[in-house]
């Protein structure tokens, strides 16, 4: 009788252990293979007019002689134009003057100076010795930025800044 009780007790322990382990296997875990992706806020646009249709404003002017132009809107409140001028690739942005860090550039620049453009706005020009450059200014109800990852030349950057409105 004692051996039957021992056998029954052993069977119960084995069964409980099996159930416990079966409940911990990956097959028994709830699988959620869906991934949450953040939508890209940058939307390519066909023209300056398309930018204005999308967000309500656009660039009034861009520099003359630019090539490889692409237009974008970002998060329904920022206009962007990417282009090449004299072999340097630039990104130009325009947004409501209340927008912080319009350029999206988080670099500590080694050199900086301010100059007044022909429209009377004070422009902050910043650059590093590696050729990265950034210009930012506010004019009227808008804030602007011009960025180049390489090829910064103050005179060239001024041409771009003075051509953007």
Domain annotation covers residue 27? no
Domain annotation covers residue 134? yes
Give the rounded distance of the alpha carbon of 138 from its chain centre: 21
Confidence (pLDDT) at 115: 97
Supply 96's token pair: 């409501």
The rounded radius of gyration (Å) of the Cα atoms in the chain is 30
Digit-coded pLDDT (tens) for 5-63: 554 455 555 555 554 555 554 554 555 556 777 878 899 999 999 999 999 999 999 99
Domain annotation covers residue 14? no
* 141-165 mean pLDDT: 97
Confidence (pLDDT) at 157: 98
Supply the range of the domain harboring residue 86.
Answer: 42-163
Confidence (pLDDT) at 35: 72
HEC-encoded secondary structure of 4-69 = HHHHHHHHHHHHHHHHHHHHCCCCCCCCCCCCCCCCCCEEEECCHHHHHHHHCCCCCCCCCCCEEE
Confidence (pLDDT) at 33: 56
Please say whether the beta carbons of 110 and 127 come within 8 A.
yes
As a whole-number percent, the residues of the chain with pLDDT over 90 amount to 73
Domain annotation covers residue 113? yes
The mean pLDDT of the chain is 87
Locate tokens 């051996």: which residue?
Answer: 3
Domain annotation covers residue 81? yes
Confidence (pLDDT) at 34: 64
Please say whether the beta carbons of 121 and 137 come within 8 A.
yes
Domain annotation covers residue 3? no
CATH of the domain at 85: 3.30.200
Domain annotation covers residue 79? yes
Digit-coded pLDDT (tens) for 98-116: 998 899 999 999 999 999 9
Domain annotation covers residue 29? no
Confidence of residue 4 (pLDDT cuts 50, 70, 90): low
In the chain, the number of structural domains is 1
As a whole-number percent, the residues of the chain with pLDDT over 70 amount to 79
The strand order across the sheet containing 133-139 reads 42-45, 67-74, 78-85, 88-96, 142-148, 133-139, 122-127, 111-116
């Amino acid at each position: 009788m004692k051996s039957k009780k021992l056998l029954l007790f052993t069977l119960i322990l084995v069964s409980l252990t099996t159930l416990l382990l079966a409940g911990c296997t990956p097959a028994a875990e709830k699988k959620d293979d869906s991934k949450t992706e953040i939508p890209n806020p940058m939307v390519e646009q066909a023209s300056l007019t398309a930018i204005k249709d999308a967000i309500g404003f656009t660039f009034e002017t861009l520099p003359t002689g630019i090539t490889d132009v692409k237009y974008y809107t970002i998060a329904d409140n920022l206009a962007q134009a990417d282009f090449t001028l004299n072999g340097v690739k630039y990104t130009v942005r325009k947004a409501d003057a209340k927008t912080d860090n319009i350029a999206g550039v988080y670099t500590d620049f080694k050199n900086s100076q301010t100059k007044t453009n022909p429209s009377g706005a004070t422009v902050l020009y910043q650059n590093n010795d590696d050729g990265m450059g950034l210009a930012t200014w506010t004019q009227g109800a808008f804030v602007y930025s011009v960025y180049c990852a390489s090829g910064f030349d103050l005179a060239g950057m001024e041409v771009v800044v003075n051509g953007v409105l």
